[in-house]
Amino acid sequence: MAFRFWCGECGFKTAWLAEYEGAQRQLEHYAKQHPGIPAGGHVETNRKNPEGRSGCLRTLGVLVLLLILTAMCRY
């Protein structure tokens, strides 16, 4: 699933990432930009593409498999 983390202090937001990676980036942002303030803000879930990056890879894999099967059937 893909998540975007928003800073509660400024307009910073992470890219769409896995939950752990997004949380890490948000913590790094707070340590650098807002030292001494506990991480806050909110988390957004990508509802249009809940699979995140892996969904694209799966689709690409299926398309390649179909291409190979089509090529095998023609000869």
And the tokens for 5? 């983390």
Please give the average per-residue pLDDT across 28-49, as a whole number: 89
Dump strand ranges (E) for 7-67: 42-45
The full set of domain ranges for the chain reads 3-74
Contact 15, 4 (CB under 8 A): yes
Contact 37, 29 (CB under 8 A): no
Contact 9, 39 (CB under 8 A): no
What percentage of residues in the chain have a pLDDT greater than 70? 85
- The pTM score is 0.61
pLDDT, tens only, 46-73: 877 655 555 667 777 878 888 888 788 8
Please give the average per-residue pLDDT across 2-17, as a whole number: 93
Contact 18, 46 (CB under 8 A): no
